[in-house]
Chains A and B, each alone.
Chain A
Amino acid sequence: MSALRPLDKLPGLNTATILLVGTEDALLQQLADSMLKADCTSELKVHLARSLPLPCSVNRPRIDLIVFVVNLHSKLSLQSVEESLCHLDAAFFLGKVAFLATGAGRDSHCSIHRNTVVKLAHTYRSPLLFCDLEIEDFRAAMAQRLVRLLQICAGHVPGVSALNLLSLMRGSENPSLEDL
């Protein structure tokens, strides 16, 4: 069991790998399928994990982007993500981590407040995306977005790096907590 490090492996040729971490396998699987359907010039690989740390594997390619999926309907999913974050090398948080919250559309089912995930993302200085993954059209749109993010984090888009992206996204995406 080792902590994941962003730059401890050589990148594959034209390959971009994303790691989706979340407790609800069905949602991750659907998101992965949607991402692979998206148009992309790079070769995509999607890894799905329930939590970190990952089981030991020599064959795992370099991970370019990690997305933590939290289901606002399930306290367990938030708890699992919080525990997983401890096993991640700090260097990942320079633009290679994002949070995705699903389930906000069905307010009556939510047991986690929006602000909780907003605070979590703010603590880890990473972007927070909202998407109801159960709705196919929203999921497809988010998948397209994630593919773009992934390409940038893998260095496939000339002139933009993960760190650039982070500062760009912070401006419009994440209002400071005082504004809420």
Chain B
Amino acid sequence: MSAKEMDETLAEFFRRTILKIPMTEMMTILKTWNFLSENQLQTVNFRQRKESIVQDLVLLCEENHASLNDAAHLDIIYTQFHRHQKIWDVFQMSKAPGDDIDLFDMEQFKSSFKKILQRALKNVTVSFRDAEENSVWIRIAWGTQYKKPNQYKPAYVVYYSQTPYAFTSSSRLKSNLPLLGQALTVASKHHQIVKMDLRSRYLDSLKAIVFKQYNQSFETHNCTTSLQEGSLGLDINMDSRIIHENKVEKERVQRVTQEIFGDYPQPRLEFAQYKLETKFKSDLNGGILAEREEPLRCLVKFSSPHLLEALKSLAPAGIADAPLSPLLTCIPNKGKNYFKIRDK
């Protein structure tokens, strides 16, 4: 077999995938991929223009007879390094009451998952990569009965096998979502799958919320002493010519904020959305809207580079009263950032 037998579309896919990788991460990602040997990598001149480097690397892939599977692996690794470029949804599976708790077999899961997708759509590329905490990253390139899989718009699923949770990147091809859900459910021997009202770019924060790992602080000490120590530190740094008249209130706000949000860094979300369907309530008697029978529909969206930290700082900054509305503070607890509010 000659080295130049690689399919043109596959070579192009390699080229585009490698081109995506920033130069600062190139060596790390290639080494993680572990497909090209040290010796081979040393033959590449990394001081050329990026296009030339990529060309050399693709030639090396051809030499090694790289397959679509190898390309898919590289794509998974790239996505793992750049997970925040995708928006992740969270799905929760459940077993039927009375189901036995089988021991999970990763290989059986993978083969079952792949078979279900391949039976439904003749053309689909499914690749797996094991990751930490018994999780697996699944890459799916969707095709149809008549079209080859589109390698440039894959969907990703991260499934934590010891839990009923899976995270999926929102794919533009939404029609395949029910099939994906079904494949996950059946392959992992669950009965039902439900989409949670939780979505974010930050996969690790979603994990922390769903696995309730966000509220672990690393020091164990009495809460009240830590507050005193904190405020003492403030006094020492502050000029004694500045006097806070509302010190008692300030301390109350700090205490309430700490009770609600804790000492630990908050998981990172970019927004919270509230869909309201409530009847109009007014203090004034009469008015046009007060007589309206139908509920008003309204959407309120809070956006921030780090929503929960922003909410935490509202009361201490004097922008809102403490305690904040439970609708805002329940987000990590309830594992939701999409809410529907109706009249009771």
Binding site for B on A (CB under 8 A): 19, 22-26, 29, 32-33, 36, 43-51, 54-55, 57, 74, 76-77
Contacts and interface: CB of A to CB of B under 8 A. Distances in A.
Contacts of A47: 242-245
Given A36-B239, A44-B241, A49 B319 contact: no
A25 B250 contact: yes
A156 B242 CA distance: 20
A29 B242 contact: yes
Query: Which size class do B's interface residues fall under?
Result: 10 to 19
A149 B58 CA distance: 73
A25 B241 contact: no
Contacts, number: 54
B319 A76 contact: yes
Interface of B: 239, 241-246, 248-250, 316-320
A50 B243 contact: no
A55 B239 contact: no
B319 A46 contact: no
B319 A23 contact: yes
Contacts of B244: 47-49
A48 B245 contact: yes
A50 B242 contact: no
Contact of B316 (A25, A33, A55, A57): A25
Contacts of A46: 241-243
Given A32-B242, A50-B246, A76-B320, 7 more contacts: A23-B319, A24-B318, A24-B319, A25-B318, A29-B242, A46-B242, A57-B245
B233 to A, nearest CB: 15
Please indicate which of the listed interface residues A22, A32, A77 has the most CB atoms of chain B within 10 Å of its own CB: A32
A170 to B, nearest CB: 29
Nearest to A25: B318
A73 B147 CA distance: 55
Q: Which 7 A-B pairs have the closest CB atoms?
A: A49-B245, A23-B318, A24-B318, A50-B246, A32-B242, A47-B243, A25-B318
A93 to B, nearest CB: 20
A48 B243 contact: yes
A36 B241 contact: yes
B245 A33 contact: no
Contact of A36 (B242, B246, B249): B242
Contact of A33 (B239, B243, B246): B239
Given A24-B319, A25-B316, A25-B318, A50 B249 contact: yes
Contact of B246 (A32, A49, A77): A49
B244 to A, nearest CB: 5
B243 A45 contact: yes
A22 B246 CA distance: 11
22 contacts: A19-B245, A23-B318, A24-B319, A25-B250, A26-B317, A32-B239, A32-B242, A33-B239, A33-B242, A36-B239, A45-B243, A47-B243, A47-B245, A48-B245, A48-B246, A49-B244, A49-B246, A50-B318, A55-B246, A76-B319, A76-B320, A77-B318
A122 B98 CA distance: 76
